[in-house]
Structure 1
Amino acid sequence: MFPRIQRTMAFNNSTVNRGKNYCSEVFKLLFDLETFEIYSYILIFILSIIGNFLLLYVLFLYENLKNVTNLFVLNLACSDLMLTVTLPFWAVYLLQEWVFGHFACTFVIVTEIVGLYSSVILLTAMTVDRFITVVLHNMPRNKVRRQRFAALSCAAAWIISISVSIHVATRVTVEDWRGRSVCSIRTSYVDYDFNLAVSLLFFFLLSIIVFCYSAILKTVLQASNRRKHRTVVVVLCIVAAFIICLVPYNILDIIVSLKEPENCNALKREIIALSICQILAHSHCCMNPILYMLSEKWRKHLLDLFSCKKVRRVRDRKRTTDSSVKQNVAFKAQSSAVVLEPTCS
């Protein structure tokens, strides 16, 4: 959210230093885009909250959390929810100004960064796991070692993303800009170098994902039994959604870090691109639950949940258990009666 307003501030400050007028046309454009973004964030928030909590409920109710894929899905849902909880703050911010104070500004930006970058690392680890399972299936596999790799990958994802957010947190500020309270990040040449390094890390992880899935698709297309690899199709759709939603944002982030707009028209084009890319980036948090429904297994779980089959199965199991107990008690009582019955001489 903050790069667009921060970019306008930097441009206007530079124009003042050069003795030029403010780019007044930008402000009208900002207000027009803000209305569209507010409705977009509200819609994304509702879809993400419903989808991810439903996904977590189904995961805990039906699935084995020791399964490697389920462990990645669990952590990805948590990453998406972290990104989701920031959306109401940004919607209110667009509606008026930043009214939540410095601590909330730091919390929102840190939470957004942790959710965003943890999902990148988790998807990379998930893809590598699929690559080993599908492409290198002839290699001897150790279930315990695979679970350990998944657990370490999830821990690394959270540690790295939290470390990045701590670096950014020290530069968060709430300041007044043209009579409006703004939540932003103080920038310097060091920060631009840091942002560039983070973006390069993103594209390095993206190259790993593309390489692994190229090999996975080749292997799946050559396989005679494709039912075995249905999970791969779901994860592939997740990765594709990730690329569509987040790659444009990271490319634009590099451009913004390296190049300053030369005039108002260039700034207006940049602001429109930033607005679209930010909506796309935030929409990623509601994509994964929708894509999981492509899996036949997840659709069955969802249908069972809405039809209360799980509850009925528990009740039937309880009735069966109670019936068995009653039959056992009756059998024991009958046996006791036979034993206690007096014999006739």
Structure 2
Amino acid sequence: MDNSTDVDEDVLHFIIQNMTCPAFDFSTINGAVFITIFIISVISNVLLLCILFTFEKHNLFTYIFIINLACSDLIFAASVPFFAVYHIHHWIFGDFLCKFIIWVHFSGLYSSIFVLTAMTVDRFCTVVLNNWPNNTQRKKRYTIGACVVAWLSSIGPSLYDASNMEVSDDYYCEAAFSDELGYYFQIALLILIPIAIIIFCNCAIIYTILRAAHRTRHKALSIVFCIVVAYIICWGPYNIVLLIQSKTCEELQRMNIVYNICRMLAYSHCWINPLLCMLTQKLRNHLLYIFCMRET
């Protein structure tokens, strides 16, 4: 959830090597895990989109946030194979793809958190504000507008990240210069503020449901809540690790292991989302129908 990704690992290995501090080599493991994440993500997200456009084509507006989230995950997943090759070998794709893949990577990442924030605010308006706005057409315009804003808001920061990348020594795709102020500004704007909005909205939703005289089952809320929790579980540890500073060889060795494990978990969010979405009874029935048709 930040603009460091693979650059952090390069810096970590550089420090360890210069301290003659041997570190466990995650290159092959990272490559294999990233390829697996890519395959599962593409299959699960494409399957989710196929189910929605096949069985819910007359009701697509209901799933507009899910559709946008699946597109974000697919865009993010599209960058993962390049990082797999980068870890197994080195950056062999040239300067243009170095910038372009970073742009794709962060476009998918930023758009997903903005769409997730919009989903949560939409549920907040439905439950806490009692289906505001009441006008159906106006609600459609607001929802579509929220999705457009989510995508447009992800373009600028991701372009900034991409413009800062370059290929050095024909080996690394890394940041050309360190912009600490810009980094912390992005963390606040792209991570902390959306997470704060998500937490506030979910707390208000839970409070409203618990104090209601007649509690209604909100199945859609359960899915949104699960997606939010999964996102925080996946990306939270990774971002916490990036804030930890290690000085001794022993600490750096441990940090190398923890960092790589947390990053694998973080990248896994792009296939966890569609699986959570398909847990709803309706989409699960559509999925079972597809498999039953194939068997017959």
TM-score, structure 2 normalization? 0.89
- Pick one of 215, 221, 227 that aligns with 1:238: 227
- Pick one of 160, 185, 210 that aligns with 1:197: 185
Deviations 1:161-200 (A, max 9, x none): 1101111122111112xxx711111232xx1111111111
2:212 is the alignment partner of 1:216? no
SS in 1 for 2:173: strand
Residues 64 and 70 of structure 1 are in contact (CA less than 8 Å); yes or no, is this contact kept in structure 2? no
Quick one: structure 1 residues 139 and 166, their matched pair in 2 at CA, closer, same or farther if it must change by over 3 Å?
closer
2:169 is the alignment partner of 1:165? no
SS in 2 for 1:187: coil
Within 2, Cα distance between the matches of 1:105 and 1:140? Answer: 44
Deviation at 1:22, TM superposition (A): 1.5
Which residue of 2 is the match for residue 295 of structure 1?
A: 280
Which residue of 2 is the match for residue 6 of structure 1?
A: 10
Amino acid at match of 2:145: L
Which deviates further from its counterpart, 138-147 or 295-304? 138-147
Quick one: structure 1 residues 66 and 42, their matched pair in 2 at CA, closer, same or farther if it must change by over 3 Å?
same
Quick one: structure 1 residues 112 and 305, their matched pair in 2 at CA, closer, same or farther if it must change by over 3 Å?
same
Which residue of 1 is the match for residue 253 of structure 2?
A: 268
- Pick one of 302, 307, 314 that aligns with 2:292: 307
Quick one: structure 1 residues 114 and 25, their matched pair in 2 at CA, closer, same or farther if it must change by over 3 Å?
same
Deviations 1:212-267 (A, max 9, x none): 1112223334453534x1111011101110110112223334x26xx5x4333333
TM-score, structure 1 normalization? 0.77
Residues 42 and 87 of structure 1 are in contact (CA less than 8 Å); yes or no, is this contact kept in structure 2? yes
CA-atom RMSD, angstroms?
Answer: 2.4
2:31 is the alignment partner of 1:38? yes
Residues 118 and 161 of structure 1 are in contact (CA less than 8 Å); yes or no, is this contact kept in structure 2? yes
Instruction: List runs of 5+ in structure 1 lacking aligned partners.
Output: 13-20, 313-345
Which residue of 2 is the match for residue 16 of structure 1?
A: none
Quick one: structure 1 residues 244 and 69, their matched pair in 2 at CA, closer, same or farther if it must change by over 3 Å?
farther
Deviations 1:304-335 (A, max 9, x none): 222349xx9xxxxxxxxxxxxxxxxxxxxxxx
Within 2, Cα distance between the matches of 1:24 and 1:80? Answer: 39
2:37 is the alignment partner of 1:24? no
Within 2, Cα distance between the matches of 1:65 and 1:105? Answer: 40
Amino acid at match of 2:19: C
Which residue of 2 is the match for residue 183 of structure 1?
A: 173
SS in 2 for 1:85: helix
2:116 is the alignment partner of 1:102? no
After TM superposition, where is structure 1 displaced by more than 6 Å over at least 4 residues in a row? none
Residues 199 and 250 of structure 1 are in contact (CA less than 8 Å); yes or no, is this contact kept in structure 2? no
Residues 102 and 173 of structure 1 are in contact (CA less than 8 Å); yes or no, is this contact kept in structure 2? yes
Within 1, Cα distance between the matches of 2:284 and 2:64? Answer: 19
Deviations 1:105-128 (A, max 9, x none): 112111110000110110001000
Within 1, Cα distance between the matches of 2:101 and 2:280? Answer: 33
Amino acid at match of 1:187: F
Quick one: structure 1 residues 138 and 232, their matched pair in 2 at CA, closer, same or farther if it must change by over 3 Å?
closer
Quick one: structure 1 residues 145 and 252, their matched pair in 2 at CA, closer, same or farther if it must change by over 3 Å?
farther
2:275 is the alignment partner of 1:286? no
Which residue of 2 is the match for residue 122 of structure 1?
A: 115
Quick one: structure 1 residues 252 and 200, their matched pair in 2 at CA, closer, same or farther if it must change by over 3 Å?
farther
> What is the aligned-residue identity percentage?
40
Tell me how many residue pairs correspond in the alignment.
289
Which deviates further from its counterpart, 76-85 or 133-142? 133-142
Instruction: List runs of 5+ in structure 2 lacking aligned partners.
Output: none
- Pick one of 226, 240, 256 that aligns with 2:216: 226
Residues 245 and 280 of structure 1 are in contact (CA less than 8 Å); yes or no, is this contact kept in structure 2? yes
Deviation at 1:68, TM superposition (A): 4.4
Which residue of 2 is the match for residue 143 of structure 1?
A: 136
Higher relative contact order (CA 8 A, sep 6+): 2
Residues 30 and 84 of structure 2 are in contact (CA less than 8 Å); yes or no, is this contact kept in structure 1? yes
Amino acid at match of 2:174: S
